[in-house]
Chains A and B, each alone.
Chain A
Amino acid sequence: MALSKQNGFGPADPKRRRALKEMAMYAAGTAGVAAAITGFAAQSRSLPAETLRPPGALPEPDFQSACVRCGLCVRACPYDTLKLAEFGDGPAIGTPYFIARQVPCEMCDDIPCVKACPTGALDHALTNIEKARMGEASLVGRDACLNMLGLRCDVCYRVCPVIDEAITLQITHNARTNKHAIFEPVVHPDACTGCGKCEKSCVLEVAAIRVLPKKLTKGEIGDHYRLGWEEKNKAGKELVPDVIDLPDRLPSTTPDVAPPELSTIPGLGKSGAGQ
């Protein structure tokens, strides 16, 4: 003990002990600050459903390692679509986003926002704006959509910059009138850019068609799942040989039994059919 004191080494040396203590305090503080920021960062990891990233934006976790929050994309956008997030807006503070219902992306041919991005947070590999996937439109408010009610609104369909590819009108039977058609707006995820024009233009008080971040719209089949017909094509032959293939029973054009009238089913159709 005395020796270690003399040569200024060893744990008993008060100077050294103080220095060690201080060091430990700072290290703990550092870890604390790092942990606090880490927690704070975790909070702003996911994007709220109504906010969309600019064209070419990297997927959300990567985007936050890439975007320096400079606002050059915001400045480059001729339509003032993009905004930088304020504290409380939802997206990580300072990062660019837009809200389709307010100002959608006009899908500029030359994509100036992507070109302006110095870091590549907006991926410079995106050169064809129709390849952008900012989100995906979805008719989430089906029951309110005028077309679904049997009217002909079609506005979302007509404004779509990728009309007839990203969005089509699918004709189905109108069960209410029993003689008209319903022109259902159907979005095709493989072509929808998520520009938000449809949501912006929906004539309803609250848009029936909404553009949501891909994360919220995308379904995914489990890894282990195999689709028989694809496997068959890959193999180029029957996967289970010698299975007797029975002929499929196709619906005949003239039904054997007429479907029951709605009014004959109790509790359905016009009230008091039998009274």
Chain B
Amino acid sequence: MSVKRNPGLEARQQLGWFKANKWLLARRATQLGFFLLFATGPLLGIWIAKGTLASSMTFDVLPLTDPLVLLQSLLAGFQPESLALIGAGIVLGAYLLIGGRVYCSWVCPINPVTDLAAWTRRKLDIKKGWNIKPKTRLWVLGAILLASVLTGTIAFELINPITTLYRGLLFGLTWGLVTILLIFLFDVFVTRNGWCGHICPVGAFYGLVNTTGLLRVSARGRHRCDDCMDCYAVCPEMHVIAPALNGTGRDETPIITNIDCTACGRCIDVCPERVFNFTHRFDQRLDPPPAPKPLAARGDLVKAA
């Protein structure tokens, strides 16, 4: 599949920079917002959320715990206090309701890094890479759970770049930044979306949690698609788009149902034809097909853009 060097150009020209980056900006704001909930304490002395993504306490009342970390703890043979169990229950419940991989696009601090890597890769026009299967991450997930059982430790936390980065930024440790650099280089030079799309067991875990979530992307206006391929170029999990866009999924649903979709909304942003939109998983509506345009008119439109 040819990947464009400058996807979204058409959308920016037609809709303006702001509108063609709406969801990207919303995500960056959310990611920063989550970080600031933790960071205002150490930086300004205003404590909102204490702790890190692994486990936190917000306003001294709301406990939140990473369910995968707690699962490893359980497998390592430890019985956690109820506070941690409640915290993990709340987080798991929220992601079951909204959609597991929403974590990846809207919360995880690695996402801006791998997005930047994907952007760099496009700019440098690096085409081929090491062909790792996306399902590799499920095996990695299995491996860390197995390692937790074998070692009696929370195994992935020894190397987890996500919590390492958060911890590093919030507690002034520098090691996190090295891991981030490694991931960046891996994504740029080894495989497209290498870490998040193929390796990360946290993403794999949240993918498994992604089966019930309400928040979905729909290719509702798929009749308007003119095969510019911009959405494929920006999607971090490009295999999820085709069934919804081509109507080859179950019941020809326009909803992107694949559990790998991170609900980043980048496809919505870059599509000049406004094919995609955020909706809930039961919304099966399709825009009516447009009256066929004469070819000449289409040509004019593209030129004018």
Residues of A at the B interface (CB closer than 8 Å) are 26-27, 29-34, 37-38, 40-42, 44, 61-62, 64-72, 74-76, 83-84, 86-88, 92-94, 116-120, 124
Chain A residues lying within 8 Å of B56, measured Cβ to Cβ, are 70, 72
Q: With A and B bound together, what is the CA distance between A62 and B158 in angstroms?
A: 15
Chain B residues lying within 8 Å of A68, measured Cβ to Cβ, are 54-55, 65-66, 69-70, 73, 84, 154, 157
Q: Does chain A have a CB within 8 A of B150?
A: yes
- Contacts A65-B154, A93-B164; A120 near B54 (Cβ below 8 A): no
Q: With A and B bound together, what is the CA distance between A61 and B53 in angstroms?
A: 23
Q: With A and B bound together, what is the CA distance between A199 and B230 in angstroms?
A: 64
Residues of B at the A interface (CB closer than 8 Å) are 41, 50-52, 54-57, 63, 65-66, 69-70, 73, 76-81, 83-84, 87, 136, 139-140, 142-144, 146-148, 150-159, 163-164, 167, 170-171, 173-175
Whether the Cβ atoms of A42 and B151 lie closer than 8 Å is yes
Chain A residues lying within 8 Å of B142, measured Cβ to Cβ, are 30
With A33-B147, A41-B153, A68-B73 given, can you name 15 additional A-B contacts, CB distance below 8 Å?
A29-B143, A30-B143, A34-B147, A34-B150, A34-B155, A64-B152, A66-B78, A66-B80, A68-B66, A69-B163, A72-B56, A93-B158, A94-B163, A118-B55, A119-B65
Whether the Cβ atoms of A65 and B76 lie closer than 8 Å is yes
Q: With A and B bound together, what is the CA distance between A34 and B69 in angstroms?
A: 16
Whether the Cβ atoms of A41 and B158 lie closer than 8 Å is yes
Chain B residues lying within 8 Å of A26, measured Cβ to Cβ, are 136, 139
Whether the Cβ atoms of A71 and B87 lie closer than 8 Å is no
Which of the residues A38, A42, A83, A120 comes within 8 Å of B81, measured between beta carbons?
A120
Whether the Cβ atoms of B73 and A66 lie closer than 8 Å is yes
Whether the Cβ atoms of B81 and A124 lie closer than 8 Å is yes
Whether the Cβ atoms of A69 and B140 lie closer than 8 Å is no
Chain A residues lying within 8 Å of B52, measured Cβ to Cβ, are 69-71
Chain A residues lying within 8 Å of B77, measured Cβ to Cβ, are 65
Give the shortest distance, in Å, between A195 (CB) and chain B (any CB).
Answer: 23
Q: With A and B bound together, what is the CA distance between A32 and B142 in angstroms?
A: 12
Interface core residue of B55, B153, B159, B173 (most chain A CB under 10 Å) = B153
Whether the Cβ atoms of A33 and B140 lie closer than 8 Å is yes
Chain B residues lying within 8 Å of A83, measured Cβ to Cβ, are 171
Residue of B nearest to A95 (CB): B157
- A interface SS class: helix
Which of the residues A37, A62, A116, A124 comes within 8 Å of B144, measured between beta carbons?
A37
Which of the residues B78, B167, B175 comes within 8 Å of A69, measured between beta carbons?
B167
Residue of A nearest to B151 (CB): A41
Give the shortest distance, in Å, between A147 (CB) and chain B (any CB).
Answer: 39
Chain A residues lying within 8 Å of B73, measured Cβ to Cβ, are 65-66, 68, 119
Whether the Cβ atoms of B171 and A38 lie closer than 8 Å is no
Give the shortest distance, in Å, between B291 (CB) and chain A (any CB).
Answer: 46
Chain B residues lying within 8 Å of A37, measured Cβ to Cβ, are 143-144, 147, 151, 155-156, 158-159
CB-defined A-B contacts under 8 Å, sample of 19: A26-B139, A33-B143, A34-B146, A37-B144, A37-B158, A41-B151, A42-B151, A44-B158, A69-B154, A72-B50, A72-B55, A72-B57, A74-B171, A84-B171, A93-B175, A94-B163, A94-B164, A118-B83, A119-B84
Whether the Cβ atoms of A64 and B154 lie closer than 8 Å is yes
Chain B residues lying within 8 Å of A64, measured Cβ to Cβ, are 76, 152-154
Residue of B nearest to A115 (CB): B83
Whether the Cβ atoms of B78 and A92 lie closer than 8 Å is no
Whether the Cβ atoms of B51 and A71 lie closer than 8 Å is yes
Chain B residues lying within 8 Å of A88, measured Cβ to Cβ, are 175
Residue of A nearest to B148 (CB): A65
Chain A residues lying within 8 Å of B70, measured Cβ to Cβ, are 68, 119
Give the shortest distance, in Å, between B238 (CB) and chain A (any CB).
Answer: 21
Question: Closest 8 A-B residue pairs measured CB to CB?
Answer: A65-B76, A70-B55, A120-B81, A33-B143, A87-B175, A37-B147, A41-B151, A64-B153
Whether the Cβ atoms of A86 and B154 lie closer than 8 Å is no
Interface core residue of B69, B173, B174 (most chain A CB under 10 Å) = B173
Q: With A and B bound together, what is the CA distance between A92 and B76 in angstroms?
A: 15
Chain B residues lying within 8 Å of A69, measured Cβ to Cβ, are 52, 54, 154, 157, 163, 167
Whether the Cβ atoms of B54 and A70 lie closer than 8 Å is yes
Residue of B nearest to A22 (CB): B133
Give the shortest distance, in Å, between A161 (CB) and chain B (any CB).
Answer: 27
Whether the Cβ atoms of A118 and B174 lie closer than 8 Å is no
Residue of A nearest to B63 (CB): A118
Whether the Cβ atoms of A119 and B159 lie closer than 8 Å is no
Interface core residue of A70, A88, A92 (most chain B CB under 10 Å) = A70
Whether the Cβ atoms of A86 and B157 lie closer than 8 Å is no
Which of the residues B140, B144, B153, B156 comes within 8 Å of A65, measured between beta carbons?
B153
